[in-house]
Amino acid sequence: MINGSIINIEGLNLHIGNKHILKDINVKIPEKKLTVILGPSGCGKTTLLKSLNRLTDLYPEVKTQGKIFNGGIDILNPKIEITELRKKMGLLAQSPYPLPMSIYDNITYGLRISGRRKKRYLSKRVEYYLRQVSLWEEVKDRLKDPASALSIGQQQRLCLARGLSVDPDIILADEPTSALDPVSSREIEELFLKLKQRYTIVMVTHILRQARRVADYVIFMYLGEIVEHGTAEQIFENPQNQITKAYIKGTYS
Amino acid sequence: MRSFSILNFKVRRTLRENLSAFWMKCCYLLILAMPFILLIGLLLKSSLLFGEHSLMELIFSSEWKPLSGKFGFFPFIISSLWVTFISIAIAAPVCLLTAIYLTQYAKRFVLKIMQPVIDILAGIPSVIYGVWGIIIIVPFVSKVAGWFNVSSSGYSILTGAIVLAVMIIPFVLNILIEVYKTIPIELSEASLSLGATKWETIKKVLTRKAYPGIISSFGLGVSRAFGETIAVLMVVGNVVQIPSGIFQAGYPLPALIANNYGEMLSIPLYDSALMFAALILFVVVTFFNMGSRYIIMHYEKKI
């Protein structure tokens, strides 16, 4: 059922100060599937996601041990060139954070910093990625407007398009629908189902129904540990662990 | 009897409610009226001068001979502008780089150590900065002038600007730190995950986001520098002339007022002239404040 894996996490431990946030994480994330990291709030889901492209660097009090392999390279090795590796993973945050510039420049930002300057190429890319997230028709006449003028749902789709613009292999999404209304949430979910044909998607959520709708593979976390992981079928139909069972049934309190 | 006391209670409550709102309104009206009262006072006091001289003449003439009734403010205005802009040119980059370092690169405890240091700098009375300027900066500038083959006593525009720069740094820096601290970390995450380096993120995303705050901090710095009196007066030389270089002495407007008010008021129109100097200060500082506010509003619409 699950073929190759794109990310291998081996013995990952993470401390913030003297709090043990992630405890001995060992898991493989399958390629070109939608993996959901599921679990109650505050169990370390987001921290695990941010370790994957080492955004944990931004927090000086975070200490990590262990290895995360992507294409044979250990992401956590401080000697590697992290900038290029980060480009392989698009990020979608809890609520949209458009860059303080126009809609057009939000999409071209990643391309411009990697040296693409030709106007015609950039314009074509902008249209392509905005179509990917079905935003093109809504914004094609006001590409020069500030991105902050869009609605929250549109901003989140713009952020997704921005993430796609540097041509990543993986999309990391941290509760991407938590700030959105039901219609916009559904749009993001549908986009994910479409995009997983070509990208590996790792999505953090605490919404069980959302996980049921979209997941191929589920990692269930509780208090910084992976309790159980497996295909969506296994986890939702036949969970082994008591905590997982309780959470899936909704009796978890 | 009982219903009466309830009524009484209600009336008292409403009365108290209205009264408290009334006092609040009074306080705010007082503050609102303050700048207008100041402006009117200055206008009335300096109006005598307008009767005898045209505004153009007062501002652009450089002849300052109060005894023969000639009041040209040009040397003072130019001195003020020189001192202000050199000081902000020194303080601005220092503050900007420090704020970026403290909020983006330094460990958290470094910022915690810096905060009280900045507060101490901000709290030192300006006369102490003046003394420090005389002891340290005056001889230093005199020496530096020597390297450029200029002879200077050290009491000069540059000295005033350096002392001023040190004085405004804590104020500008405090705002800038606050500005950079309030930028959500998710914005950095977004930029980094698109393959930007840290410096690219700071330059192209964070500083763009911080731009309105940066402008307002510089605006505050300019306003403070323009009006600062004692420390500048002590080191700037106080010679009525249009300074032709930064090693020359100057005579900024606040120094003019502080040095002369109450001294030679027997000269006709002299106090009126000093009031006019105050009016110029008032107008220029207001202009800077409004200007930076305009830039901020204009920019915030664009991002």
| Residue A252's pLDDT band (cuts 50, 70, 90) | low
Q: What is the pLDDT of residues A194-238, one digit of tens each?
A: 999 999 999 999 888 899 999 999 999 999 999 999 999 999 998
What contacts A135, CB < 8 A, 6 or more positions away? A154, A157, A158, A161
Work out the mean pLDDT of chain A and round it to a whole number.
Answer: 90
Interface of B with A in 255-274 (CB under 8 A): none
pLDDT of residue A175: 92
pLDDT of residue A51: 93
- CB contacts < 8 A, A to B, total 77
Q: Which of B194, B202, B206 to mutate to test the interface with A (most CBs of A within 10 A)?
A: B194
Domain regions of chain B by residue span = 2-50, 64-300
Is A110 at the interface with chain B, CB within 8 A?
yes
| Residue A121's pLDDT band (cuts 50, 70, 90) | very high
Which domain range does residue A99 map to?
A: 5-249
pLDDT of residue A1: 46
Residue A193 maps to which CATH number? 3.40.50.300
Q: How close is the nearest chain B Cα to the Cα of A210, in Å?
A: 23
Does B195 contact A91 at a Cβ distance shorter than 8 Å? no
The ipTM (two decimal places) reads 0.89
pLDDT of residue B54: 86
Is A80 at the interface with chain B, CB within 8 A?
no
Is A148 at the interface with chain B, CB within 8 A?
yes
Phi, psi values for residue A31, rounded to 5°: -80, 145
CATH fold, domain B64-300, is MetI-like fold (1.10.3720)
**Partner residue opposite A97 with nearest CB, options B190, B195, B301:** B190
Give B236's DSSP letter.
Answer: S
> Could you give the percent of chain A with pLDDT greater than 70?
98
pLDDT of residue B52: 82
pLDDT of residue B4: 63
* Chain A residues lying within 8 Å of B191, measured CB to CB: 99, 109
**B234: its two tokens:** 């002590």
* Number of domains making up chain A: 1
A92 in Cβ contact with A156 (< 8 Å):
yes
Q: Which of B193, B200, B203, B301 to mutate to test the interface with A (most CBs of A within 10 A)?
A: B193
pLDDT of residue A81: 87
B227 in Cβ contact with B159 (< 8 Å):
no
Low-confidence ranges of chain B (pLDDT < 50): none
| Average pLDDT value for residue range A10-25 | 92
pLDDT of residue B150: 86
* Chain A residues lying within 8 Å of B303, measured CB to CB: 100-101, 146, 148
| Average pLDDT value for residue range A108-124 | 92
* Chain A residues lying within 8 Å of B193, measured CB to CB: 53, 55, 86-87, 89-91, 163, 172
Is B190 at the interface with chain A, CB within 8 A?
yes
Helix pair angle (B157-181, B108-123), 10° resolution: 140
